[in-house]
Amino acid sequence: MNILVTGANGQLGNEMQLVSKLSKTDSYTFTDVCEGYQKLDITNLDEIRRVVAEGNIQCIINCAAWTNVDKAETAGPIVETLNATAPGYLAQAMKEVGGLLVHISTDYVFGGDPYNTPCREEQKGTPTGVYGLTKLHGEQLIEASGANHIIIRTAWLYSEFGHNFVKTMMQLTATKPQLKVVFDQTGTPTYAGDLAQAIFDIVEGRKFENHSGVYHFSNEGVTSWYDFTKKIAELAGNTACDIQPCHSDEFPSPVKRPAYSVLDKTKIKQTFGTNVPYWEDSLKKCVAALLKQQ
């Protein structure tokens, strides 16, 4: 099967490049808008159709998105274009050739209603900002297309690549005598390598037939940003930094973030037999790899 990956230079896209080397049956093409990759404008339906036809593409894994949550509030129509219109186009292109779209969504589709149990796939989306709303619109356009699709909502993504919370906290706890981190937002970190492996297993194993729908994937377990930071500092050996818990309102933001965004992974495990590692185990791997790079 010929597979096209968008957003190849992002965190998940880079991890997909690594796991794709394990494939025995599939051929991968990686696209992005930056140098070093085949160019693909996912906001142009005709261009998508052309690339799909030329490469005989039967599956698209969409890792591209507008992901800056705060800037989404003032960035204008581009956020809806990238997070909703473009995924709709990718789904349409796959529908036309009988292919599969794997699309990455987010826990930010939730957050408007109070709840304290892990979010299930059928739970109503109540986004609190532009980012979450546009990602929800993207899901809806994909579902309305009639294309064979696997939508995977994830949360708190980090990796050895790009800018992310783990790399930022490793740097700050190494250089700051004291740090305040919010303790009243709870969720589960997700190592992008684990998510890439889950996607690879579903596609490579052809497990997606007759299973179109929305699925949740994050690592196992529950933590707060404060506890997450404490563990990052411990693993990195940055024990001199005094890390203190604080409330979210001490860091004013244009977006109200979900206070509780733990995702229920029962569906993806039961449907695809997906292995979901514990968050601390995966964090150890990532921090060890980052320390080696220093």
User: How far apart (Å, rounded) are the C-alpha atoms in residues 252 and 195?
Assistant: 31
In a domain, 217, yes or no: yes
Structural domain boundaries enclosing 147 = 2-164+188-221+260-278
Q: Taking all residues of the chain, what is their mean pLDDT, rounded to a whole number? A: 96
In a domain, 229, yes or no: no
List the catalytic residues: 131
Provide the pLDDT for residue 115.
86
Report residue 10 CA to chain centroid gap: 10
Whether pLDDT at 114 is above 90: no
CB contact at 8 A, 163 and 15 = no
Mean pLDDT across 82-87? 98
Residues 234-247: tens digit of each pLDDT: 999 999 999 999 99
Mean pLDDT across 261-281? 97
Mean pLDDT across 275-287? 98
How many folded domains does the chain comprise?
A: 1
CB-based contacts of 246-251 (< 8 A; 24+ apart in sequence): 246/180, 246/181, 246/182, 246/183, 247/182, 247/183, 247/184, 248/182, 248/184, 248/185, 250/180, 250/182, 251/182
In a domain, 40, yes or no: yes
In a domain, 142, yes or no: yes
Provide the pLDDT for residue 243.
98
In a domain, 171, yes or no: no
**Percent of the chain residues past pLDDT 70, beyond the cut:** 100
In a domain, 242, yes or no: no
In a domain, 230, yes or no: no
User: What's the pTM value of the predicted model, to 2 decimals?
Assistant: 0.97
Provide the pLDDT for residue 251.
87
Residues 159-218: tens digit of each pLDDT: 999 999 999 999 999 999 999 999 999 999 999 999 999 999 999 999 898 999 999 999
Q: Which CATH number goes with the domain that contains 60?
A: 3.40.50.720
